[in-house]
Amino acid sequence: RHYGRGKHTLRVASRANTHTHTTHKHKRMSFQPYQDNGGTGLAIAGPNYCVVAADTRLSTGYSILTRKSSKLITLGPKTVLASAGMQSDAIMLRKVLRMKSVTYEHEHGKPMGTTALGQLLANTLYGRRFFPYYTFNIVAGLDDEGVGAVYTYDAIGSGERVSHASQGSAQALIQPLLDNQVAHSNQTTEKRILSLDDAIALAKDAFTSASERDIYTGDTLQLLIITEEGIREEHIQL
């Protein structure tokens, strides 16, 4: 019922216009199990070397959490894992892989090779098919013959061996550059095999370009160079 004259009416609650339902609409509180911490990794395989690179920026939303977080971990004497995506899942994944590879070493009397670690990662990721590790991984190293091997995976373990790969927030920016320079795609001149120095220079160039255009990539570039002698580390400011 309305009381008062003209436009200014006093609306008095009566049974006619009182809402009788007791439930009220409220925002559904939900827990988001995943977050994207950004970052990018790449790997290039050569005839007797493997170059793995990743940036060290950790972000959430539009903020930077730290500029010094590593995405690379050494899984075996000749194998490195690069994980981009959610950092807590990456840490958990590393722990699980480390546990399994130590068990393997005890059982077989020798450390796991790159191909074996590649398969182990694929199986581990698929084991969590219905609640995945939110990580985008690259396994890189030297295979049993001493030739560079790079395996690239999606979040649920679909992977393959390739000559070059990139994963993470700047994947779309870096992958075509690697296709063009490593695999020599769309070029009519004779293909040349990249030397180790060329591959390192290419990785640095790819990351400097990616840091220009991708906000989640930057700060420092951590490079691991795997050769017969072992694994060498370099740090470059971006």
Partner 1 sequence: IRVWWCSKRVIMGDNIMTYNGGCSVAMVGKDCVAIASDRRFGLRQQTLACDNERIFRINDRTFIALNGLGTDVETFIEKLCFRLNLYKFRESRDIAPRTLGSLVSNMLYEKRFGPYFVEPVIAGLEVDKATGAVTPFVTAQDLIGAPCFPGNFVVGGTCSESLYGMCESLWRPDMEPDDLFETVSQALLASLDRDCLSGWGAVVHVITPDSITTKTLKARMD
Among the residue ranges 59-67, 121-129, 152-160, 205-213, the one whose residues contact partner 1 (CB under 8 A): 205-213
- Pick the binder of partner 1 from 58, 199, 210, 226 (CB under 8 A): 210
From residue 99 to residue 118, what is the string marking binding to partner 1 with x (rule CB under 8 A)?
--------------------
Nearer CB in complex with partner 1: 134/207 = 207
Helices (H) and strands (E) in the chain, counts: 4, 14
Asked if residue 120 lies in contact with residue 94, where contact means CB atoms within 8 angstroms, the answer is no
In angstroms, give the least distance from the CB of 182 to partner 1.
Answer: 11
DSSP character string of 55-94: E--EEETTEEEES----EEEEETTEEEEEEE-HHHHHHHH
d(CA 148, CA 48): 6
In angstroms, give the least distance from the CB of 128 to partner 1.
Answer: 27
d(CA 148, CA 125): 23
From residue 156 to residue 195, what is the string marking binding to partner 1 with x (rule CB under 8 A)?
--------------x-xxxxxx-xx----xxx--------
In angstroms, give the least distance from the CB of 184 to partner 1.
Answer: 11
- Pick the binder of partner 1 from 213, 215, 232, 233 (CB under 8 A): 213
d(CA 157, CA 34): 17
Q: Is 186 helix (H, G, I), strand (E, B) or coil?
A: coil
Q: Position 50: which residue type?
A: C
In angstroms, give the least distance from the CB of 203 to partner 1.
Answer: 12
Nearer CB in complex with partner 1: 17/185 = 185
- Pick the binder of partner 1 from 182, 206, 224, 231 (CB under 8 A): 206
In angstroms, give the least distance from the CB of 181 to partner 1.
Answer: 9
Asked if residue 220 lies in contact with residue 53, where contact means CB atoms within 8 angstroms, the answer is no
Nearer CB in complex with partner 1: 88/175 = 175
Asked if residue 12 lies in contact with residue 1, where contact means CB atoms within 8 angstroms, the answer is yes
Asked if residue 127 lies in contact with residue 147, where contact means CB atoms within 8 angstroms, the answer is no
Binding interface with partner 1 (CB under 8 A):
170, 172-177, 179-180, 185-187, 205-206, 209-210, 212-213
